[in-house]
Amino acid sequence: MMDVKLIRLVTGEEIVAEVLDWQNGVITIQNALVVIPQQGQVGFAPWATVIDNDQPEIGLDMKHVIYSVAVAPSVIEQYAKIFGSNIVLPEKKLIV
């Protein structure tokens, strides 16, 4: 199961990415998308546009990260559409 998080950087950028590892002060991610606020919604664009597809991992020094949080199920669904279906989506439940 992929661990998709919203990561806020000290630059103010918010990125959605798959977290691969988190140790020794470095968070390793891949398939990063920058969140672009739009009127009443958000859009996504590639964050590291010229990265080598054979080595897609990016190491972020934790001193550049303000926070990392879980994303909404709707964001995970959109992320899965962009990067493939290896993401396990949470089961939808009815509220009665």
Report the alpha-carbon distance of residue 40 to residue 50 in Å, rounded. 30
CA 6 to each of CA 32, 46, 69, 72, 86: distance values in angstroms, whole numbers, following the listed order: 10, 14, 5, 9, 18
Residue 96 lies in a domain: no
What pLDDT does 13 receive? 96
Mean local confidence (pLDDT), 61-89:
85
* Domain contains 88: no
The answer as to whether 95 is a domain residue is no
pLDDT of residue 36: 93
47: containing domain: 4-83
Q: Looking at residue 94, what is its pLDDT?
A: 62
In a domain, 75, yes or no: yes
The pLDDT of residue 95: 62
Q: Is residue 41 part of a domain?
A: yes
What is the rounded CA–CA span in Å between residue 86 and residue 93?
Answer: 21
Number of domains in the chain: 1
Rg of the Cα atoms in the chain: 14
- Region 22-30: what's the mean pLDDT? 95
94 domain-assigned: no
Domain CATH number, residue 38: 2.30.30.100
| CA proximity to 70, closest of 5, 11, 12 | 5
Give percent of the chain above pLDDT 90. Answer: 59
Q: What pTM was estimated for this model as a whole?
A: 0.80
Residue 56 has pLDDT above 90, yes or no: no
Q: Is 92 contained in some domain? A: no
